[in-house]
Amino acid sequence: MRCEVCGRKIHTDPVRAVIEGAKLTVCVECSKHGKVMIYEEPTVSQPSPTKSYAHIPVIMKKPPVAQVQITTEVVDDYAAKIRSAREKLGLSHEDLGKKINEKTSLLRHIETGKVAPNNQLANKLEHALKITLMVPIVDEKVTVAPKKMASDGLTLGDLIEMNKPDGEASSRRKPS
C-alpha cells in the first residue's frame, strides 16, 4: 500500500487522516500534516457464500408531459403592427427592449419579419404597445372537388385541375 500524499510505500500500519478536508490513507510521517482519525488495518470484506443477492433493475418511467392545447396564434402582419405601435408611442428599439426586458436586436428582427415572436414575447409586446397580436386559431374549411369514379377515366389533367388554387383560370392546350 502507498501513501496518498507522498506516494511512498507504507511499511507500518496505514493511518487514516483528514488533510485539508480530504480523508486519506497516509504514512505516519504524512499524518502529521493533518488530523489523525484512527489507526486501522486495511480489510477486504468478503461476501458470504451462503447468501446471494440478485440485482433487480428498477425501471423509471418518465413523468407524463402536460398536454396544452394551443388556442391562439400570432397575426400574419405582426411586424407592421409592432413597428407602427412602437413609432406611435415614440419609443426606440432600445427603449422598448428595456421596457419588456428583451434584446434590441431581437426586436429589430421581429419588426423586419425575419423572426416571429413566440407566445410569451407576443404577450409582452401586446401589453407594452397596447396592441393585439394574438388571435384565436380558426380552422380553415377545405373544399374538395367531387371525386370522379374510376370508370370515368381519371387522367393526369384531372389531378392537376384538382390541385389548382381557386380563382386560377384553367388554360387548355389547343390540339395541334
pLDDT (tens digit, 9 = 90+) per residue, 9-54? 877 777 788 888 888 888 888 878 888 875 545 555 555 555 556 6
The total number of structural domains that make up the chain: 2
Q: Tell me, what CATH number does 102's domain have? A: 1.10.260.40
Structural domain includes residue 92 = yes
Residue 35 falls inside a structural domain: yes
- 20 falls within a domain: yes
Residues 25, 77, single domain; the answer is no
Per DSSP, which regions of the chain are E strands?
15-19, 22-26, 35-39, 72-74, 134-136
Per-residue confidence in pLDDT tens, the chain, 176 aa: 788 888 888 777 777 888 888 888 888 888 788 888 755 455 555 555 555 566 666 677 777 777 777 788 888 899 999 999 999 999 999 999 999 999 999 999 999 999 999 889 999 999 999 999 888 887 666 566 666 555 566 777 777 777 777 655 555 555 55
Query: What is the phi/psi pair of residue 103, to 5°?
Result: -75, 145
Q: Is 174 inside a domain boundary?
A: no
Domain encompassing residue 107 = 72-136
Return the bridge partners of 48, or none: none
Torsion angles phi and psi, residue 82, rounded to 5: -65, -45
With respect to residue 141, please indicate whether it lies within any of the assigned structural domains.
Answer: no
* Cβ 30 vs Cβ 9: under 8 Å: no
For 131, other C-beta atoms within 10 Å of its C-beta total 17
